[in-house]
Amino acid sequence: MRAIRKIAFLLDEFASPSPGQQLLDRFLIGYPRDGALHTLEDAAVSAYLAVSAESTFGMREEEFDLEVAPTAERAVAGAGAVVVVSRRPGAVANEAFLRIALEQAPEGAACFVHGVLANSLASARHFAAKAASRRIALLAGTPLCVTWRLPPVDLTPGTPLTEALIVVQVNPVAIQATPPSPPATLGGAELQALDGLLPVLERRRGGESGIRSVRFLEGKGLWRAGEKGQWSWPLLAAALSRSHTPQGDAVLDGRTQDLAGLGLVPKLARGPRGWLLEHCEGLRTAILVLDGVVADFNFAVRAQSGEVLSAQLFRAPTPAEHHFSRLVAVMEEFFRGASPPWPVQRNILIAGLLEKFHKPSSISGLRLETPELNIAYSV
Amino acid sequence: MPRRPRIALLATEVRKYSHGQHFIDRFLEGYGWHGRHHYPPFELAGLYVDQFNEGDLSRDRASRHHVKIYPTIEKALTLGRSKLAVDGVLIIAEHGFYPRAEKGQTRYPRYEFFQRTVKVFEASGRAVPVFNDKHLSTDWSECVAMVRAARRLGFPFLAGSSLPVTWRIPSVEIPLGASLEESVCVCYGGIDAYDIHGLETAQCMSERRAGGEVGVKSARAVRGNAVWQVLERRETTQRLFHAAVARSFTCRGPSNYPSALPDLEWLKKNHRNPVAYFFEHLDGFRTSLFLLNGIVSDFNYAGLVHGSGEILSCQMYLPMPPVLSTLADFFNPLVNHIERMVLENAAPYPIERTLLTSGMVIFALESLYRGQVLVETPELNVAYRAPGQSTFWNA
């Protein structure tokens, strides 16, 4: 394991809490890891913050020797590790920051992007190639890919899968006083879904095979597709059974309810949307964005044997959001030269899928062939 | 078709998020369990509700699910007939308006409900499994009488908190027979309310140590600065305290730095009203409980393995409504254990655990009442063995 010496943060914002604050504070001040406070003794931390009137590093410069750099280039100079954090929820990458990181960081450095790697498949591929050419280790991700699962399950490597499903929300707050406002950034929920689910799926037999087609559905079309078996109601029921935050009567009077079995899901869902992915080897994945039904992220996958594996992707409460502690532990090992915890191909695939999700042609209900997403990898 | 086993539930009150509501709804509406919505294979046949306070939900539930609310405990257990007519009894005597005892305890009528249940058993010549929510009683002789009655009549008796059976993050267990030296729980809440949860958090781990549980020799409870003074003198407890704090998701340390953890100096300056209980067991083992309101709002455990110095720690995670959840799903594993007990006619873990933790609460409060002095506890000579199998939620 190598010493890090200097970690550079390139931040769009520094609100509290925000991913930028959560990540920087942990490298600067320390974080709980394996039941003890863990601090980095061997790394100076520098940060460049993009112009943002409401943002401030507070007392971090004085109390923790944070070096505030006047430019992104100065922050990155001499850094053994670079962290790029774009605005919440990280579904739109700050490609300018990443470009600077990959051009200015010393050869042999490591770079981690919070959120999506890039805003298009072409950019993601370009950045991965650029990083490789300069021997810079490059990864992207969110806490969802490494957080605790309830229960603490994982797919046995090599298990053949037939179907997968994940339920996420735009606004996952347990008790919502008012309906959530429309998403500021389309793709935030989808990014979380992909980042939470792909680490499970890529362990299946043959690894990830890439995506052959995508299909967008919304409103009644989403429910009709479920009735036709184009996504699995039983898997949705399994995923919902893992939720701690059913909405509806549970909010009213604390009642436990079988949301799927009682037919309540379509009644509760606000602006439901979903993506049906067909993987190259035949696995079918459904991403359901269901605000108003539950307020946590839950998945279920079915093995060829018929066995169903399901879990909640745990998000720890604000303001500490200790799922970021899990991510920082993984990032720290990555920066210290450990083998990458996942292949960058996962991040390239996610970038390509989010690009596809953003395209107007996707908002049609049609099945779109995606030969460009034939991105296979294994872990 | 064979009839489903019948249960009777005796509740002090049933309103949103009261314990009565949590148990009743899980039996009537089912709950998420092992990746599906599970409907308990029981008929909630008889309901007794002691208080119908503002926001009562029992009548709504009774009406929607055709459950009869009986005017007395005896009628709920006999379903209005002359003899016991149910296959299991749940005593959920938490919440509602009940008098306060001199030492700060709320006199929930757990003992009274239990005694009246036992009288029905005796009159019927038959006894069925009983679950008692939380601690047994606020009076030690009543706690002992409850356990003796269960032994005398030979019915399975389960009690206690949901903490021992809820999720653990990370999902760890003390290996059975481990050479454990001390257990610490750092949690929150009031005395005679959440202290029992914290003690059950520690005890479900401590009881797995080599030799099993042997009983508690002494108790001392302290408040305010005395907590930090004791902690400063006890190096091992201090290590475990910090390890437990490091498992908290809600720890509020130095302001402006939400992920930072407080050290002892910061706590001494900034937290002036902690409460701590210190117990010495008969084999020299130690249990310490810290109620740190305003610093943490979750339940965190750390235990020290003798010799290796290894610390095993976790949070016993409660998805507590309304901030973290809309349901108190930590009741799911507890209800599932109750179901198993009734179906298999055997308690999944020994009642002695909750007998001991009930006594630990009683004598800790005695210590506070007497001016934070050390109280010898020959009464707590409660020895038992933990079950071999883990009983917490991990699937």
- Which of A178-182, B156-160, B195-199 is the least confident region? A178-182
Would you state the pLDDT for residue A361? 67
Closest by CA to B202, choosing from B264, B291, B142, is B291
Which residues 242-301 on chain A approach chain B with CB closer than 8 angstroms?
A: 242-247, 250-251, 253-258, 260-261, 295, 300
Identity of the residue numbered A241: S
Would you state the pLDDT for residue A182? 40
H-run or E-run covering B335: helix B331-344
Q: Does residue B60 carry a pLDDT above 60?
A: yes
Q: Is A303 helix (H, G, I), strand (E, B) or coil?
A: strand
Distances (CA, A) of B223 to A51, B365, B368, B377: 49, 11, 8, 20
Which residues 291-350 on chain B approach chain A with CB closer than 8 angstroms?
A: 302, 311-314, 317, 319, 321-329
Answer whether B395 sits within 8 Å of A151, measured CB to CB. Answer: yes
For A218, counting Cβ atoms within 10 Å of its Cβ (0-12 exposed, 13-18 middle, 19+ buried), the class is middle
Q: Does residue A54 carry a pLDDT above 70?
A: no
Closest by CA to A153, choosing from A322, A309, A327, is A309
**ipTM of the complex as predicted:** 0.96
Identity of the residue numbered A74: R
Answer whether A241 sits within 8 Å of B35, measured CB to CB. Answer: yes
- B113 contact partners, CB below 8 Å, separation of at least 6: B10, B73, B91, B93
Q: Is B309 helix (H, G, I), strand (E, B) or coil?
A: coil
Residues of B in contact with A314 (CB under 8 A): 169
Residues of B in contact with A300 (CB under 8 A): 35
Is B242 at the interface with chain A, CB within 8 A? yes
H-run or E-run covering B363: helix B351-369
Asked if residues A284 and A163 have their Cβ atoms less than 8 Å apart, the reply is yes
Q: Say how far apart CA A225 and CA A222 lie, in whole Å.
A: 5
CA atoms within 13 A of residue A104's CA, in its CB half-sphere: 18
Q: Does residue A181 carry a pLDDT above 50?
A: no
**Beta bridge partners of residue A37, listed in sequence order:** A32
Give per-residue pLDDT as tens, B198-223: 999 999 999 999 999 999 999 999 99
Q: Say how far apart CA A264 and CA B36 lie, in whole Å.
A: 16
What is the number of other CB atoms lying within 10 angstroms of the CB of residue A56?
12
Q: Does residue B142 carry a pLDDT above 50?
A: yes
Q: What's phi and psi for B31, nearest 5 deg? A: -165, 160
Give per-residue pLDDT as tens, B280-317: 999 999 999 999 999 999 999 999 999 889 999 999 99
The mean pLDDT of A17-22, rounded to a whole number, is 91
Distances (CA, A) of A230 to A269, A307, B26: 19, 19, 32
Q: Does residue A180 carry a pLDDT above 80?
A: no
Q: Does residue B23 carry a pLDDT above 60?
A: yes
Kindly list the strands in the beta sheet with A149-150, ordered across the sheet, starting from the edge strand earlier in the chain: A149-150, A308-313, A297-303, A161-168, A284-291, A270-279, A211-218, A367-369
Asked if residues B253 and B304 have their Cβ atoms less than 8 Å apart, the reply is no
Q: What angle do CA B221, B223, B224 make, to 5 degrees?
A: 155
Q: What's phi and psi for A147, nearest 5 deg? A: -70, 170
CA atoms within 13 A of residue B355's CA, in its CB half-sphere: 25
- A81 contact partners, CB below 8 Å, separation of at least 6: A4, A6, A7, A8, A43, A109, A110, A111, A112, A335
Is A22 at the interface with chain B, CB within 8 A? yes
Q: DSSP of A42-78, one letter per residue? A: SEEEEEEE---TT---TTHHHHH--EE-SSHHHHHTT
Domains in chain B with CATH codes: 6-160 (3.40.50.720), 167-321+355-380 (3.30.360)
Which residues 194-233 on chain B approach chain A with CB closer than 8 angstroms?
A: none
* Topology adopted by domain A5-145+321-341: Rossmann fold (3.40.50)
Q: pTM value?
A: 0.96
- Band of the pLDDT at B272, cuts 50, 70, 90? confident
Quote the DSSP letter at residue A293: T
Answer whether B169 sits within 8 Å of A148, measured CB to CB. Answer: yes
What is the number of other CB atoms lying within 10 angstroms of the CB of residue A171?
16
Residues of B in contact with A318 (CB under 8 A): 258
**Arithmetic mean of pLDDT over chain A:** 93
Identity of the residue numbered B313: S
What is the number of other CB atoms lying within 10 angstroms of the CB of residue B395?
11
Length reported for chain B: 395
The mean pLDDT of A97-115, rounded to a whole number, is 97
A178 vs A39 pLDDT, higher one: A39
Q: Does residue A55 carry a pLDDT above 80?
A: no
Would you state the pLDDT for residue A364? 66
H-run or E-run covering A138: strand A137-141
Kindly list the strands in the beta sheet with B299-305, ordered across the sheet, starting from the edge strand earlier in the chain: B167-169, B311-317, B299-305, B180-187, B286-291, B275-281, B216-223, B375-376
The mean pLDDT of A364-372, rounded to a whole number, is 90
Q: Say how far apart CA A33 and CA A28 lie, in whole Å.
A: 14
Asked if residues B223 and B304 have their Cβ atoms less than 8 Å apart, the reply is no
Interface A-B, measured as beta-carbon pairs within 8 A, has a size of 141
The mean pLDDT of B367-387, rounded to a whole number, is 97
Would you state the pLDDT for residue A66? 95
Quote the DSSP letter at residue A145: G
Identity of the residue numbered B217: K
Quote the DSSP letter at residue B115: H
Which residues 208-237 on chain A approach chain B with CB closer than 8 angstroms?
A: 237
**Beta bridge partners of residue B106, listed in sequence order:** B100
Asked if residues B197 and B299 have their Cβ atoms less than 8 Å apart, the reply is yes
Nearest to B327 among A37, A250, A314 (CB): A250
Q: Say how far apart CA A202 and CA A343 lie, in whole Å.
A: 10
Q: What angle do CA A175, A178, A179 make, to 5 degrees?
A: 95
H-assigned helices in A71-149: 72-76, 95-104, 121-133
Most confident of A186-190, A281-285, B324-328: A281-285
CATH 3.40.50.720 occupies which residues in chain A? 5-145+321-341
Q: Is B43 helix (H, G, I), strand (E, B) or coil?
A: strand
Would you state the pLDDT for residue A179? 46
Asked if residues B134 and B94 have their Cβ atoms less than 8 Å apart, the reply is yes
Q: Does residue A221 carry a pLDDT above 70?
A: yes
- Which of A171-180, B61-70, B149-158, B375-384 is the least confident region? A171-180
Give per-residue pLDDT as tens, A227-238: 999 999 999 999
Q: Say how far apart CA A143 and CA A322 lie, in whole Å.
A: 9
Nearest to A31 among B247, B259, B327 (CB): B259
Q: Say how far apart CA B71 and CA B47 lie, in whole Å.
A: 9
What is the number of other CB atoms lying within 10 angstroms of the CB of residue A326?
19
**Residue matched to tokens 């990540």:** A23
Q: What's phi and psi for A41, nearest 5 deg? A: -90, -15
Asked if residues A6 and A79 have their Cβ atoms less than 8 Å apart, the reply is yes
Residues of A in contact with B169 (CB under 8 A): 148, 150, 314
Residues of B in contact with A167 (CB under 8 A): none
- Which of A167-171, A266-270, B245-249 is the least confident region? A167-171
- B177 contact partners, CB below 8 Å, separation of at least 6: B208, B209, B210
Asked if residues A195 and A164 have their Cβ atoms less than 8 Å apart, the reply is no
Would you state the pLDDT for residue A279? 98
Q: Does residue A185 carry a pLDDT above 60?
A: no
